[in-house]
Structure 1
Amino acid sequence: MNIVFKAGLLLLFAGVFSCTSSVKSSSDEDARPNIILINIDDMGWRDVGFMGSEYYETPNIDALAADGMIFSNAYAAASNCAPSRACLMSGQWTARHGIYTVGTSERGKSRDRKLVPVVNNETMPDDNVLIPEVLQKAGYVTCQSGKWHLSEKPELRGFDFSIGGSHAGNPGSYYPPYKNVPSVKAPSDDYYLTNLIMDRTLDFLDSVNNKPFFLYYAPYAVHTPIQPVKALLPKYENKAEWNGQNNAEYATMVENVDAQIGRLVEALRNSGKLENTVIFFTSDNGGHYGITKQWPLRSGKGSYYEGGIREPMFVFWKGKIQGGSQSDFPVSQLDFYPTILDMAGIPKPANKILDGASILPVLKQSGDLEERPLFWHFPVYLEAYVKNDSTTQDPLFRTRPGSAVRLGDWKLIQYFENNDIELYNLKEDIGEVNNLAESNPEKVRELVGILDTWREKTVAPVPEQLNPDYQ
């Protein structure tokens, strides 16, 4: 059910409490931390102040980050919306759920595709147990707020409540009638969607009482369409460019998301819930390269260079995570699922494969994780955003079919069409300018061997059929 009016919301929550309170109501359950997972849409690695931006203004996000642990090497498990969110919610690599892109895998012109791409799965399989389903079963009140993008009804995938969630990947419009978000009704003709989603989110927080809750806050912003928050536009129109960032309209959307998160934190603080709430902050993929830049990272959304997969990230937990701390350990959003279970004291579901690891020892600075490879698998095509974009492998596609692996400082990308290999030392070359594949054949053999073993283990499909339309 979608939330429209606060009065209706309160009645709905009353019903949920009446049927769930008998499941678990012990003091142990009430002591479990509330969990908020903030997943901004298309926000790049340097689109926030805590990652160095001097153009976008994000004081609320920055303050929260400063009171938690910031991760400088945090990754999404895919470089565009749907597969990234599928990995986050399932805790699994793309090869396990089969969601590789948005819509069809036959992107771009057929004559430019040498291989027939793997068929894309557009909906999360019903038998894949997601984070909210586990938490709901354990007695958490669960709410999805904003973009869902993995099925038509998030209420069927572990959420007691959905605020504006559907299979839609963007709202169509941030001004009424919101087009792709028809179930959220505007209170006035010019009410901004991001603000309205937070209004309804705060209604949810008002209604949970002392039950532990899980909030997946994933506003459609700052995804296209780029529609400015009109009151904020003048301050950015004359603001000096910084590091390639100069889009005033986009900047208003970034600042407005920050303002909404400020409202969320204030509500938690005023209600006394902040003391027992864990907040994860991240983005689903890199920034749209035609709109924002992440320099020195190469490229942006849809690419498997760092600009497409490295994300801004921090975790806040008052009294449990030391404020002002930072970690350079490479982590993946796949780690969120086991970390959340660890924090809540919930066992892993039977027969569930989790490809990440709990980073709780890192967060509490009580131990280190063993170095492990991180993988990306994209056996499909994704056409270029920007004409003649020199930051991608070629000007026609943001990426062609391939896999990538990072281990330690080294990152290797293998493309399937011609078995092209790119090798980078990220410690020395974060911008991925110097391909070291020819000069480091032993490292290439090592990483390709790791990729081959991983693809075999996960049954990752590799396209081999030639496309007869290819020219």
Structure 2
Amino acid sequence: MNHRTLLILCLFTCFASITDAADRKQPNIIYIMLDDAGYNDFGAMGSKHVQTPVFDRMAAEGMRFTDHYSGSCVCAPTRCVLMTGLHTGHCRRRDNQASANRNKTDENGLVFLQDEDLTVAEVMKQAGYVTGGIGKWGLGNPGFAGSPDKQGFDHFLGYLDQMHAHSYYTDWLWNDGQRMETNKRYSHYIFEEDTLRFIRENQGKPFFLYLPYTLPHGKYEIPADDPAYQIYQDKNWPQEVKNYAAMITRADMTVGKILDLLKELDIDDNTIVFYTSDNGPNPPFVNHLESNAPLSGIKRSLKEGGIRAAMTVRWPGVVPAGETSDFVWDMRDVFPTACDLAGTEAPSHLDGISVLPTLKGESQAARPHMYWEFPFRSQQAVRMGKWKGYREGTESPLQLFDLTSDPAEKHNVAGKHPKIVEQMETIMAQSHVPSEFWPLDSGKKKGKMKR
């Protein structure tokens, strides 16, 4: 072998090693989740009323999902599913407040994560990531094992208690376990500033940044001089509807600043960004903005409008640009997907699967089924291929819908498909592990859906 050939081989080997190292580089992960924004509250999902140019841009530059779901139909259990990778038949927190054994909860009936609960933040931290959270936590108050600093977060700024999160002009927020005075500034402005600071300060390390922003959850309030509000101020809508739409647009503006900063810091190509919402909308916004169209159901319902969530994912050069996917997944899948991205093994007890192949545009086998439960009216739901099963009460007849032809779940076809119904009833029975705080009943007790 002559010297020239040897040199070429050495250069090729060196290049291959560099390329392989680049392929193995851990990407930054940013997960953005709005609060109570409906499936149809985003332009790229079909909204004719709410302006979300950054969501739409991400859909054009990445992948938009039509059949992505929330972890639950209200705030706290969705966050529990997302953090623990367990569905609502297995996870610790299954509603915002306990419906039984409240002597074992805090004074407000809140159930927090415990030391034995393993979160995605803990595993990301073990994998070498700097972990940050900004927004609404809702899974553990100060002094309890469920607080974010005890669940894997190097940094958390925001509301720990979900009731506290109902005020955007609070006197204080929690910042790394300490009270931080706010001078009653609009809290989202503080969140935006801290988000950009966290990215700047950690640009040289792999980071996992969880952004459960409180917008557009009530109270429906936004400064009148905010540019987002100016877009809607002259609309012939009730004031809370104008505020709600403006709050979504304001959050979207923040996402735009995040994307701009990633590009400025030259880490855009090594950062995957998820952008979604935590559950379905409330009634006023269905009426005026068609927030759950073309679905039925609202927040606190396991009908499609209560749990199907807008989602777009962007990662330049990896996630194919401009694609729309009907792959069925939800927030239990974030934990194993993050592990896959980080190059670390996912814990074996998780209910979710990694959807990284789908995100890369590769073919991926559909999962056999997905299960949800919610204690109010003892709701249970199963998605199995094109079929959706739903019932209110463990002894109630199961309703069956073909989502391909009936996404609004108007036509119960259970009588025509008894074998599908039987399969779903078996899934419901096997997927539900009883909770001392949220027992399911026969469904004979009925209540009114509330905001």
Q: Does structure 1 residue 250 correspond to structure 2 residue 244?
A: yes
What residue identity is the alignment partner of 1:364? K
In the other structure, the counterpart of 2:344 is 346
In the other structure, the counterpart of 1:10 is none
Is contact 1:147-1:170 (8 Å) kept?
no
TM-score by length of 1: 0.79
What residue identity is the alignment partner of 1:343? L
Is contact 1:41-1:222 (8 Å) kept?
yes
Give, in whole Å, the separation in 1 of the partners of 2:444 and 2:252.
46
Q: Cα offset for 1:261?
A: 1.1
Counterparts in 2 of 1:247 and 1:135: CA distance versus 1, 3 Å? same
Secondary structure of the equivalent of 1:372? Answer: coil
Q: Cα offset for 1:286?
A: 0.8
Structure-to-structure mapping, 1:298-447, within 5 angstroms: 298-349=296-347, 352-378=348-374, 380-381=375-376, 400-416=377-393, 418-447=395-424
In the other structure, the counterpart of 1:66 is 60
Counterparts in 2 of 1:163 and 1:294: CA distance versus 1, 3 Å? same
Counterparts in 2 of 1:467 and 1:125: CA distance versus 1, 3 Å? farther
Q: Unaligned 5+ residue runs, structure 2?
A: 1-20, 101-108, 142-146
Q: Does structure 1 residue 150 correspond to structure 2 residue 139?
A: yes
Give, in whole Å, the separation in 2 of the partners of 1:299 and 1:347.
37
Q: Does structure 1 residue 279 correspond to structure 2 residue 305?
A: no
Q: Cα offset for 1:439?
A: 3.6
Output one character per residue of 1:283-333: Cα deviation in whole Å (capped at 9) or x when no partner: 111112233431221121110101100000111111011110111111111
Q: Cα offset for 1:275?
A: 1.4
Q: Cα offset for 1:417?
A: 6.1
Q: Cα offset for 1:77?
A: 2.4
Of 83, 93, 110, 2:87 maps to 93
Is contact 2:328-2:366 (8 Å) kept?
no
Per mean C-alpha deviation after superposition, the further-off stretch among 441-450 and 59-68 is 441-450
Of 110, 115, 120, 1:126 maps to 115
Following TM superposition, the consecutive aligned residue runs of length 4 or more in structure 1 with deviations greater than 4 angstroms are 27-30, 178-182, 458-462, 464-470
In the other structure, the counterpart of 2:223 is 229
In the other structure, the counterpart of 1:103 is 97
Output one character per residue of 1:88-143: Cα deviation in whole Å (capped at 9) or x when no partner: 1100112322311111226xxxxxxxxxxxxx871112211100000111111111
In the other structure, the counterpart of 2:206 is 212
Output one character per residue of 1:404-425: Cα deviation in whole Å (capped at 9) or x when no partner: 1110111111332652321111
Q: Cα offset for 1:248?
A: 0.9
In the other structure, the counterpart of 2:10 is none
Percent identity over the alignment? 32
Q: Cα offset for 1:468?
A: 11
Give, in whole Å, the separation in 2 of the partners of 1:301 and 1:428.
23
Q: Give the RMSD, CA atoms, in angstroms.
A: 2.9
Give, in whole Å, the separation in 2 of the partners of 1:229 and 1:348.
43
Is contact 2:392-2:443 (8 Å) kept?
no
Q: Cα offset for 1:169?
A: 4.5
Q: Cα offset for 1:144?
A: 0.7
Per mean C-alpha deviation after superposition, the further-off stretch among 169-178 and 97-106 is 169-178
Output one character per residue of 1:397-453: Cα deviation in whole Å (capped at 9) or x when no partner: xxx013211101111113326523211111111111112223433332232123233
Give, in whole Å, the separation in 1 of the partners of 2:140 and 2:61.
35
Counterparts in 2 of 1:466 and 1:345: CA distance versus 1, 3 Å? closer
What residue identity is the alignment partner of 2:190? L
Counterparts in 2 of 1:179 and 1:434: CA distance versus 1, 3 Å? same
Is contact 1:404-1:414 (8 Å) kept?
yes
Per mean C-alpha deviation after superposition, the further-off stretch among 41-50 and 411-420 is 411-420
What residue identity is the alignment partner of 1:299? G
Give, in whole Å, the separation in 1 of the partners of 2:394 and 2:88.
20
Output one character per residue of 1:233-272: Cα deviation in whole Å (capped at 9) or x when no partner: 343143377xx99921111111110111111111111111
Is contact 2:33-2:276 (8 Å) kept?
yes
Secondary structure of the equivalent of 2:199? Answer: helix
What residue identity is the alignment partner of 2:327? F
Give, in whole Å, the separation in 2 of the partners of 1:278 and 1:263.
15
Give, in whole Å, the separation in 2 of the partners of 1:421 and 1:284.
26
Give, in whole Å, the separation in 1 of the partners of 2:292 and 2:223.
23
Is contact 2:172-2:179 (8 Å) kept?
no
Q: Cα offset for 1:173?
A: 2.0
